[in-house]
Amino acid sequence: MSKKVLVAYASKAGATAGIAGAIGTELTARGHDVDVLDVNRVKNVTQYDVVILGSALYIRRWRRDAVRFLRHNADALRGRQVWLFHSGPVGPDKDQAQDMPPAVRRLAQDIGATPAVTFAGSLEPDTARGFLARRLASSDLAGDSRDWTKIRAWATGISTAVEAPEHSTNHRPATTRSRKHATRPPAGHFLG
Ligand SMILES: Cc1cc2nc3c(=O)[nH]c(=O)nc-3n(C[C@H](O)[C@H](O)[C@H](O)COP(=O)(O)O)c2cc1C
């Protein structure tokens, strides 16, 4: 059965926005009524059956706007089907699952959402903003590591899960369930 779906994202350089767009396209193709919005443009989550939220990772943190969205909408999100993702790892670490920042983990637990899935990100000289980003974008981390097959498969899993008659809230598709207590990645490129 078709659902009203929000795909909200917090992106600085556009990579996470692109992932959100791909998720939206997949869910639309599967018959759902989907809005893909910058998290700052979301007015009211209560009109949605399903909420998907994604943030870029910067220095192991989510974008402030995404955290604020979770905090401000916690009551409404508690009664909805919520999936989370973050986009970050690039270069040699692109397949390394990333921990949820502690504040995000607490909020996710509070609303009953399962942990965020990690999608590889993108770091391009053309879109890098700021000294550090430009420096990293001219290193071996540069390039688009986004895995569109994995992203589409995750969206397909959500579609299947929310259509299932026995679906209860906030269950991540089994194929993409991430480890609840993912091991911390080695201090690497983004911490010096
Ligand atoms: C200064 C800086 C810090 C970053 N920190 C992290 C990090 O802690 N963890 C991670 O996985 N990726 C990190 N990244 C990679 C970004 O998350 C990646 O480029 C992401 O796709 C950017 O998303 P956006 O284009 O939507 O802003 C960092 C990138 C930059 C430029």
Taking only the tens place, the pLDDT of each residue in 147-188 is 999 999 999 999 999 998 765 555 554 444 444 433 344 435
Q: Among residues 120, 94, 118, 104, which one has the least CA distance to residue 172? A: 118
Whether residue 112 lies inside any domain: the answer is yes
Q: Is residue 150 part of a domain?
A: yes
CATH number reported for the structural domain that contains residue 34 in this entry: 3.40.50.360
For residues 113 and 70, give the distance between their C-alpha atoms in angstroms, rounded to a whole number: 11
In a domain, 106, yes or no: yes
Q: For residue 121, report the distance from its CA to the centre of ligand 1, in Å.
A: 7
Question: Is residue 76 in a domain?
Answer: yes
The ipTM, to two decimals, is 0.99
Which range marks the domain in which residue 103 is found?
4-176
Q: Find all residues with CB under 8 Å of 72, minimum gap 6, and list them.
A: none
Ligand 1 contacts (CB < 6 A) are 11-17, 56-60, 87-90, 98, 121-123, 132-133, 136, 190
Is 13 within the bounds of a domain? yes
pTM confidence score:
0.90
How many domains does one find in the chain? 1
The tens place of each residue's pLDDT in the chain, 192 residues long, gives 899 999 999 999 999 999 999 999 999 999 999 999 999 999 999 999 999 999 999 999 999 999 999 999 999 999 899 999 999 999 999 999 999 999 999 999 999 998 999 999 999 999 988 999 999 989 999 999 999 999 999 999 999 999 987 655 555 544 444 444 333 444 356 653
Q: Has residue 111 been placed in a domain?
A: yes
Compute, in angstroms, the gap from residue 114 CA to the centroid of ligand 1: 22
Domain presence at residue 192: no
Q: Using CA atoms, how far apart are residues 90 and 88, in angstroms rounded to an integer?
A: 6
Which residue puts its alpha carbon closest to atom 6 of ligand 1? 58
